[in-house]
Amino acid sequence: MAKVKTKFVCTECGAEYAKWYGKCPGCHAWNTMVEEKETILKTKGVGLSSIHTKEKPQSIIHIDNEREPRIETSLVELNRVLGGGVVPGSLILVGGDPGIGKSTLLLQTSHALASKGLKVLYISGEESVRQTRMRADRLGALTETLYVLCETNMDHVNEAIESLEPDFLVIDSIQTVFDPTVQSAPGSVSQVRECTAHFMRTAKIKGIATVLVGHVTKEGAIAGPRLLEHMVDSVLYFEGERHHTYRLLRAVKNRFGSTNEIGIFEMGESGLREVSNPSELFLSERPLGVAGSTVVCSMEGTRPVLVELQALVATTNFPSPRRMCTGMDHNRMALIIAVLEKRNGMFLQTQDAYLNVAGGVKLDEPAVDLAAAVSLASSFRDAPTRPYDVVFGEVGLTGEVRAVSRAEQRVREAAKLGFKRVIMPEKSMKGWKAPAGIELVGVNTVSEALKAALG
């Protein structure tokens, strides 16, 4: 006999409670409780003691330590984010805003793997097979070993996997798939959790590389409990501005590689195109000789990227000045403004300050502090910086400029794009030689950097 149990589940953290709460006691989020019904089957003789596994404990020194084989796709940017390629048996979760290009990216990836002779199964719960074929025609992703199925029932999905035995599996999206044995609606916490657990077991047992597409909330996080991100091997976010053509693929979790790498694509009529030189793309519309504009070199994983940092300082008409920041941490901007006021004598208490990373890029490393300080000072003094200068360095509370990592790679990237001078921490200049045709200006304080950049 089956007993129906009612419970309330938080959609943010996945915590379960016997009654409804306006505020989740676990994650303290408001209005995230949803009611779900769970069917409990009463059986005799079934317990943990009756569950056996074929695996036996092994000594760690006797386990084979060969590296996981990887399947390289024709998309170099995707290979970089994944750590060198797709690992067989891995479970990857891809999230992003609606219409950002998740399905396009995965269909191109499926075509690239199918072109190498692998069996690829693309299961779509949101589009029909004809709609998928229309998109494949536009992308040129027509391959004999690329199979498409429109299905949302987990039982039918299992039958397709058993009959085809693919090497690569795409589920678009996990919120549309439902398990008939779970008494809740598709997309609910229980359904998403159970379906993901099932695909995880299938991927590990059969060695099928599986990609799950996840919807995101208004805040940009993947919809459903955070447990979903803990169950998978890699979590990738596909992000970008709707008003720009390029997209960023960023890894926030990766058991088989670094989480600092990003892949950059450009959206076109024929799909996503890889951007091999992102610095040139971000600087293509940079104005020259304008106050408040500074070029900074930021490290995204192992790749140096040059972007433009823009600042605007204007007199305020309100008692408290506004501080707005896009692409950087707002608290970091407030720290830099405080250093400019205290250590450099700039009276910014009556000034509105706006800071923007051009192109919609997000920078979160401390090496952009010095460029932000130079941009704010340049706009405040209305003194433009040199058009062929690159600035980077970390700023401390006492006004000192601290050393940053990978300084040589940053300088070489600046030299490759034709920049003539780099203002950087003096302590980062030791142990290597600058390339020909570029001048290095070492500074120890923010005052020295402003003097070198603004004259």
Helix (H) or strand (E) holding 324: strand 323-326
DSSP for 19-41 reads S--SB-TTT--BS-EEEEEEEEE
208 marked as binding residue? no
> Is residue 98 a known part of a binding site?
yes
3-state secondary structure at position 203 = helix
Rounded-to-integer distance, Cα 262 and Cα 406, Å: 17
- The Cα-based distances of 286 to 292, 313, 387, 418 in angstroms read 12, 19, 9, 14
Q: How many CA atoms lie within 13 A of 154 on its CB side?
A: 20
Closest CA to 7 of 46, 30, 29, 40: 40
Burial class, 142, CB count within 10 angstroms (exposed 0-12 / middle 13-18 / buried 19+): exposed
Which two three-digit tokens encode residue 302?
Answer: 């192992």
99 assigned binding-site residue: yes
The Cα 337–Cα 349 span in angstroms is 9
Question: Is 57 part of any known ligand binding site?
Answer: no
What is the Cα–Cα distance from 100 to 181, expressed in whole angstroms?
A: 33
Order the strands of the 16-17 sheet from edge to edge.
16-17, 2-10, 33-41
Buried b (16+ CB within 10 A) or exposed e, 383-399: ebbbebbbbbbbbeeeb
Residue 345, phi-psi category: left (phi > 0), alpha (psi -120 to 50), beta (remainder): left
Can you tell me the distance from the alpha carbon of 319 to that of 338, in angstroms, rounded to the nearest whole number? 18
> What does the alpha-carbon distance between residue 85 and residue 68 come to, in Å, rounded to a whole number?
10
Q: Are strands 146-150 and 246-254 parallel, antiparallel or unpaired?
A: unpaired
Residue 292 counted as an annotated binding residue: no
φ, ψ (nearest 5 deg) of residue 186: -60, 140
Nearest to residue 213, comparing CAs of 258, 240, 177?
Answer: 177
101 in a known ligand binding site: yes
Binding site members for ATP: 96-103
Binding site members: 96-103
